[in-house]
Amino acid sequence: MQKIGAVLLLILLIILSIYIGWEEEEPKVISMPVENTTEIFTQKDTDEQQDKRFKLEKKQEDMPENISHNITDETTTVEIPVPEPEKTTATFTLVNTKEVNHTVTLSGQKVVFDTNEKPIVLVNLFATWCTPCIGKIPYLNDLQKKYQKELFVNGILTHDTIDQPALETFMAKHQVNYFISNSTDNDAFANLLASTLHLPENFSIPLTVMYVEGEYFTHYEGIVPVEMIEYDIQQAKKQLKSR
C-alpha cells in the first residue's frame, strides 16, 4: 500500500508541475503585442502625415489677401508701357547698271518693292571696297539661283564712289546674278533702313536684311554662315505655306 501511495503521489506531482509550467508560459505568448503595436504605429504615422498635408493647405488658404495684391501691384508697376518710335515713311528709286529700276517704300520695318512679286526679299548693303562684302557675293549668287521663284536679292551700294563702268567690270568679275543698285538714293535708303533696326549711323557692312511679304523677318550684321541664311529662308517658306 505504501508503494502504491508513493506512486500515486509521484504521478500527482508530475501532473501538477506540468500544469503549473503551462500556466506560467501561456501568459507570455498571449501578452506579446505584435499586431497591436504595428497597428498603433501605422495609425500614428498616418495621422502625422495628414497633419502635415493639412497644414500646407491651410497655409495656402490662410495667405493674407494683401500679399497677392502687393504682387499684382508690383507686376503692374513693372509693366510700364514704352511708346513706339514714330515711323518714318519714305520712297526711293533703286536703279542698276542696265537702267532697270525698282521703286521701294520703307515705312518702319516694312518694305515694299512696287515691281517685285517674290515673297522673300534680301536687302544687302555693301561696298566694292569692303573685303567681307566681296566674300559674301558667291553665297548670294547661290541663294538667288536656288530660290529664284521665292527670293529677290537686292544689293545696295552704300558709301561707295565707284563709277558705272567700273561697277560693270566688278559685277562681271564676280559673276553677280542678282540686282545691284547704284542709285543716288542708295545712301539715304541705307541710312533709313539701318535706323529702323536701331543701328548707329556708322553701321557696319555687310548688312543683310530679310523681309517676308514686306514684313521684317531678320537681319545679319557682318559675315554669317550661308547655312544660317538658308535656314531662315526655309523657315520663311514654311510660314508662308501656313498662312
pLDDT at 37 over 50: no
- Please give the angle made by the CA atoms of 183, 187 and 192, to the nearest 5 degrees: 125
The verdict on residue 172 lying in a domain is yes
Domain-located, residue 138: yes
Give the pLDDT of residue 179.
95
Using DSSP's 3-state secondary structure scheme, residue 115 falls into coil
**Largest distance between two CA atoms of the chain:** 157
pLDDT of 196 reads 93
pLDDT category, 71, cuts 50, 70, 90? very low
| Sign of the dihedral through C-alpha 172, 175, 177, 179 | negative
Residue 182 has pLDDT above 70, yes or no: yes
- Does 211 reside within a domain? yes
The domain spanning residue 233 has which CATH number? 3.40.30.10
> Residue 12: inside a domain, yes or no?
no
Q: Domain of residue 227: give its range.
A: 89-242
The answer to the question of residue 30 being in a domain is no
Structural domains of the chain, count: 1
Q: How far does CA 158 lie from the centroid of its chain? A: 34
Q: For position 167, what pLDDT does the model report?
A: 96
What per-residue confidence (pLDDT) applies to 21? 58
Residue 154: closest CA among 200, 195, 211: 211
- Is 4 contained in some domain? no
DSSP per residue, 152-197: EEEEEE-S----HHHHHHHHHHTT--SEEE--TTHHHHHHHHHHHT
